[in-house]
A and B are shown apart, each in its own frame.
Chain A
Amino acid sequence: MSGHDCDITLTVNGERVTERVDARQTLVDFLRDDLILTGSHVGCEHGVCGACTVRVDGVLVRGCLMLAAQCDGAHVETIEGVSDLGEIADLQAAFEKRNALQCGFCTPGMLLTAQELLARGGVPSRETIREQISGNYCRCTGYQAIVDAIESVAQTRAGAKR
């Protein structure tokens, strides 16, 4: 039931935001419905599909499993903000080149999840890449193109391109 409101102040994509939220509202619903940042998607509402993936204080979280009220004082980054900073421009270019997205619904979560692995440096094996994204459901691609794209970026970033 509704009726338990909380006031929260947080930073979203570098912008300070103060809002009153329903205590039960999830982070992803807050981002989508209140801030109209619709790049984070809702696929399962269950913590399984990864479509709602965002970063909170630098850590990947499932926006459907975290409440907005828990984010008071936090730094939240969504696909919109991460894109604008250019942090994953090479990864996005690789996804485009390799057609690693079809409908694109999984893509924001997939990109952020891939970037977490890539940020660790080195060139992970294909198995490691597959494991990294194994919590991100994609119905369209069959995953191979996504693995290829991530692998190619790892190689380029490591300066070890074949």
Chain B
Amino acid sequence: MKIVEDSPPILTALDRPNSYIGRSVPRPNLARLMQGRAQYVSDVVLPRMAHVAFVRSPHAHAAIDSIDVSAAKQAPGVIAVVTGAELAKVITPWVGVLTHLKGLKSAPQNALAIDRACWAGEAVCAVVARSRAEAEDACERVLVDYRELPAVTDPETALDPGTPVIHPSIGDNLCFERVHSAGDPDKGFAEADAVVETTFLFGRHTGVTNEPRAIVADWNPGDARLTVYQGTQAPHMMQNLFAKHLGLEEQQIRVVTKDVGGSFGIKVHTYADEMATVALAKLLKRPVKFVADRIESFVTDIHARDHRVTAKIGVKNDGTITAWEIDDLTGIGPYSVYPRTSGIEANQVVNLTGGPYTCGNYRARARVVFQNKNVMCQYRAVGHPIATAVTEGLIELAAAKIGMDPLAIRRRNLIADDAHPSQGPSGIKFEALSNHAALAHLDSMMNYAGLRAEQAQLRKQGIYRGIGFASFVEVTNPSAAFYGVGGARISAQDGATVRLDSTGAIYCHTGVSEQGQGAEAVIAQCVATSFGVSMDRVRIVMGDTDNTPYGGGTWASRAAGIGGEAAWQAGKALRQNVLAVAGSILQAKPETMDIRNGVVVDHDSGKERIGLDEVARICYFRPDTLPAGVQAELIATRHYVPRAWAFAFTNGIQASYLEVNTDSGFVKLLKHWCVEDCGTVINPQLVDEQVRGGVVQGIGAALFEQCLYDERGQMLNGNMADYLVPMAVEMPDIEVGHVVTPTADSELGAKGAGEAGTAGAPGCVMNAINDALRPMGAAPLTDMPFTPDKILRALGKV
């Protein structure tokens, strides 16, 4: 393990001549994004393309007694008006369950509601027209006869005997329940000198990708093929699902993902309106485009985090934690989302609470219930922000209760850096973590002692500043344990194919996809380094199921750690192939040579022997000059999947410094720090920017973002004027530091970095607010987002 400064480069044992590993090289191909010449799905235009708009249920729960489409069919520009019953002849329903989440159940969901709408915003009828505007006009002429049914909205009463059951066919409103007990929690609480118990509330919020979901589906009956342009994180997963539900072979489906205007987990799920769009293309035998408008995004993009967690911690006076207990309740809408299910976030809360701490006395229960609101599912950092806020919130409340410094209590309880491999309270397995080193690095990076002195000084002047922390662990590089073992056809492995072109440059085809995080750059860095060319001699091909190795795509912080390793290995394999043929040409032993900067050289002396362009020329155009029996193989493929560990846990710690205006209740964020350990850092700048973007997303959860619903299941703030997101002026500068503990599961040793920021920031900001308000005797705030009115209420001012 080594501590490295924020500034590049971060070099490791993988360093070799012209290595890009650990270097902040700029991402290739940014020019098109900056010149307005990208191709997002919302930009795609195809010949004969039609547009679909959906009639959506205005009711949270309603029977659909009839739909009269006659007037809509006559509207200008209309090509077709299709109801749920008609579309069901083209596309089959799905059920979002996984067998390893035992007992998880859900009901069949259709592309368009049939007979009954289960949330306000569910599509009940599709109108296809020449333009989106004409389709929307015609939607207004569709007459749907709704009969309102009682809406189940409050998770707290969803399981009461008197509450209507949303899907009578599955018996009750319980989607999933998990109970877990480890160690001896009762004994632990009995031994505690102090016990803190409180309830944490997490506001339901959503991804608000800047580009809404978008899809263009093109069924060509001549080829009997469906080409789908989709802003998705998992092209191969979608290929499988389209084939399965349209009754086609996977080979008949091509999913193409070009530029994606942000995803964050929003674009990794099956959406009914997108399934309807592919079915309409098949039905109408022409391209059909759907781009969600912002209001549709708010009521149909998956929501997340709507959890109520009652939690308890026991501590001794010396700070030793003796026991943990949580009871989590979450309402996930009327369906478990397909195919990843809506049980994963609660499951992760159970797995991750207690994080990287030694106390193993732990009891947990999580219940996931159905309700008539928009669906919830996995969004950036799935479960981590909740588990981290609960764990770290409890720790700081306990520290305050026994009068201990918040960093000191963590030092006492974090698993020692040299005690790994180890496991967390829930039994999650850690290969190697560096929580103590990260904490020490953060302590000095932020000048903790100095800030405490400043805080005390300012308090005398009536200025209330707070310092809060959150240590965290993060699931990255998931193996098949995440989804595959539960029966989902979601690839845990990824592949890379590298080929030499006729000029000595290379192409690398990869199964991971670019969502803006820099996967293209990272893959190029890996393959350029392991093969031995400069990055400008590498072209990356991604996001196309016809032209990339089978892979899982980009989610759960897997692209760099898994896709990067596959590319690294493929580059090495091609290097061996090229050296073998170069050896034949030069009459030299391949193992005495290397490829550096596009030239075959003597390994020891570095003396140039032959350029790759010349090797390629001979192999492609004059193979007759090669010795008899020598066949050049100028393409190589390698795959990688983590096998030794189910997940490569990363770790780190964040700190927030903020000021609360005790008159207005406004919070001013002054500074934020994050030290994280994602193993080998392939590109320090990209890692830092993932952390920064993630932190800001977490700050959104802590201070601003919430999908507000009334008791009838109507979303009240489904537009960007009323749903607040972090904007530049409120955000602090964020300092990022690293500790490097590579995973031994791969040669590169890289773990994921995409979610650490979001995992830790909400709890960290919560702790800082409570630290600021503690001297005023305010009741601790545990109800996110921490809006000014809640702060003033805690201060007893309103």
Contacts and interface: CB of A to CB of B under 8 A. Distances in A.
Contact of A138 (B43, B45, B210, B757): B210
Contacts of B210: 41, 43, 49, 51, 103, 105-106, 137-140
Contacts of A104: 30, 33-34, 38, 259, 261, 516
Contact of B36 (A33, A80, A133, A142): A80
Given A130-B729, A139-B697, A145-B692, A101 B34 contact: yes
A39 B259 contact: no
Given A80-B35, A99-B518, A139-B208, A130 B30 contact: no
Contact of A2 (B134, B260, B757): B134
B707 to A, nearest CB: 16
A144 B734 contact: yes
B317 interface: no
B34 A95 contact: yes
Instruction: With a 10 A CB-CB cut-off, give which of A46, A140, A146 has the most chain B CB atoms.
Output: A140
A79 B262 contact: no
B779 interface: no
B264 A83 contact: no
Contacts of B40: 38, 41, 105
Contacts of B515: 103
A142 B38 CA distance: 21
Nearest to A1: B137
Interface string A7-36: 000000000000000101100000011001
Interface string B258-277: 01111110000000000000
A103 B261 contact: yes
A142 B689 CA distance: 8
Contacts of A80: 35-37
B162 to A, nearest CB: 40
A41 B261 contact: yes
Contacts of B35: 39, 79-80, 83-84, 92
A139 B33 contact: no
A78 to B, nearest CB: 6
Instruction: With a 10 A CB-CB cut-off, give which of A84, A105, A111 has the most chain B CB atoms.
Output: A105
B476 interface: no
Contacts of A45: 293-294
A134 B696 CA distance: 14
A153 to B, nearest CB: 13
A38 B725 contact: no
A60 interface: no
Contacts of A32: 43
Nearest to B207: A139
Contacts of B34: 79, 83, 92, 95-96, 101, 104, 107-108, 111
A76 interface: no
Nearest to B212: A43
Contact of A141 (B37, B42, B693, B720): B693
Interface string A50-83: 0100000000000000000000000000111001
Contacts of A141: 689, 692-693, 696
A117 B136 CA distance: 38
A101 B685 CA distance: 12
A101 B30 CA distance: 8
B693 A108 contact: no
Contacts of A1: 137
A134 B727 contact: yes
Per DSSP, are chain B's interface residues mostly helix, strand or loop, or mixed?
A: loop
A126 B729 CA distance: 10
Nearest to B697: A139
B45 A36 contact: yes
B209 interface: yes
B237 interface: no
A38 B43 contact: yes
Nearest to B26: A96
Contact of B259 (A40, A78, A103, A136): A103
B731 A130 contact: yes
A121 B207 CA distance: 36
Contacts, number: 182
A142 B731 contact: yes
Contacts of A39: 35-38
B686 interface: yes
Nearest to A134: B729
Given A41-B211, A101-B33, A134-B729, A142 B133 contact: no
B320 to A, nearest CB: 36
A36 B778 CA distance: 56
B43 A99 contact: no
B733 A144 contact: yes
A55 to B, nearest CB: 13
Interface in B556-595: none
A46 B719 contact: yes
A99 B36 contact: no
A57 B441 CA distance: 52
Contacts of A97: 26
B731 A96 contact: no
Contacts of B43: 32, 38
A101 B493 CA distance: 29
A111 B689 CA distance: 18
B516 A102 contact: yes
Interface string B30-53: 110111111110110100000000
Nearest to B134: A2
Nearest to A80: B36
Nearest to A131: B729
Contact of B720 (A48, A107, A130): A48
Nearest to B38: A104
Interface string B208-245: 11111000000000000000000000000000000000
A139 B36 contact: no
Contacts of B294: 43-46
Interface of A: 1-2, 22, 24-25, 32-33, 36-49, 51, 78-80, 83-84, 92, 95-97, 99, 101-108, 111, 126-127, 129-131, 133-147
14 contacts: A22-B133, A36-B45, A99-B685, A101-B30, A101-B516, A102-B262, A131-B729, A137-B725, A139-B208, A139-B262, A139-B725, A141-B696, A142-B726, A145-B692
Interface of B: 26-27, 30-31, 33-40, 42-43, 45, 76, 131, 133-134, 137, 207-212, 259-264, 293-294, 515-518, 685-686, 689, 692-697, 719-721, 725-729, 731, 733-734, 757
Given A99-B27, A130-B731, 17 more contacts: A1-B137, A38-B36, A41-B40, A42-B42, A43-B294, A45-B294, A48-B721, A84-B35, A96-B30, A99-B26, A103-B210, A103-B259, A104-B38, A107-B34, A130-B729, A139-B207, A142-B731
